[in-house]
Amino acid sequence: MAGSVNKVILIGNLGADPEIRRTQDGRPIANLRIATSESWRDRNTGERKEKTEWHTVVIFNEGLCKVAEQYLRKGSTVYVEGQLQTRKWQDQSGQDRYSTEVVLQGFNSNLTMLGGRGEGGGQGAARGGDFGGGYGDDYGSPAPSRGGPSGNRGGSSAPSGGGFSRDMDDDIPF
């Protein structure tokens, strides 16, 4: 299929601390439960109404798992960008069941902490620290401007001093 897009963008709060587990070959997988909610005033009664939607987010991307583990806690506000995926499984009685999740994997995913009130405390407490646009300190840029802010790019116009000193390929932590 030429030209398919499958994208989910959420901003919401974690209902619980992230759950991190590992595959048999040691790769981390993180699960988040995220609430988004909307409120409005009922036209007839004038009452304030609110509806909360819960989302399951599954993170396969190793760098983003680290972000989840280090920075996110119950109550944290996050920006999540991933894909919709429906997984088939069997319940105890052998019946087919389906679960739809927001999956973060590969290049078109993102996870960024937006603050919020994580329960904090201890060494692993959530903090609003800079983590490089969605990555831990040890990770490269998600999309730096080649040549920098005054970046003069391409063609014959020689970058003035700056230049394109680095290859983003190596900076992308997937």
Compute how many residues bind DNA; rule: CB under 7 A.
Answer: 23
Residues paired with 148 in a beta bridge = none
Compute how many residues bind its own copies; rule: CB under 8 A.
Answer: 110
Among residues 50, 96, 167, 170, which is the contact residue for DNA, using CB under 7 A? 50
- Dihedral of CA 86/89/17/52: which sign? positive
Asked if 54 is part of the footprint of DNA (rule: CB under 7 A), the reply reads yes
Taking CB under 8 A as the criterion, which residues in 93-152 touch its own copies? Answer: 97-100, 102-103, 105-110, 112-116, 128-133, 135, 137-146, 148-152
Taking CB under 8 A as the criterion, which residues in 49-78 touch its own copies? Answer: 49-55, 58, 60, 77
Nearer to DNA, 27 or 56 (CB): 56
H or E element, residue 68: helix 62-71
126, 103, 99: which is closest to 115 by C-alpha? 126
Spatial strand order of the sheet with 96-104 comes to 48-59, 96-104, 76-90, 110-116
Q: What is the distance between the terminal CA atoms of the chain, rounded to a whole angstrom?
A: 25
> Exposed/middle/buried for 143, CB within 10 Å: 0-12, 13-18, 19+?
exposed
Taking CB under 7 A as the criterion, which residues in 59-118 touch DNA? Answer: 74-75, 77, 116-117
Asked if 151 is part of the footprint of DNA (rule: CB under 7 A), the reply reads no
Contact positions vs DNA (CB under 7 A): 1-2, 12-16, 33, 35, 37, 39, 50, 52, 54, 74-75, 77, 116-117, 119, 128-130
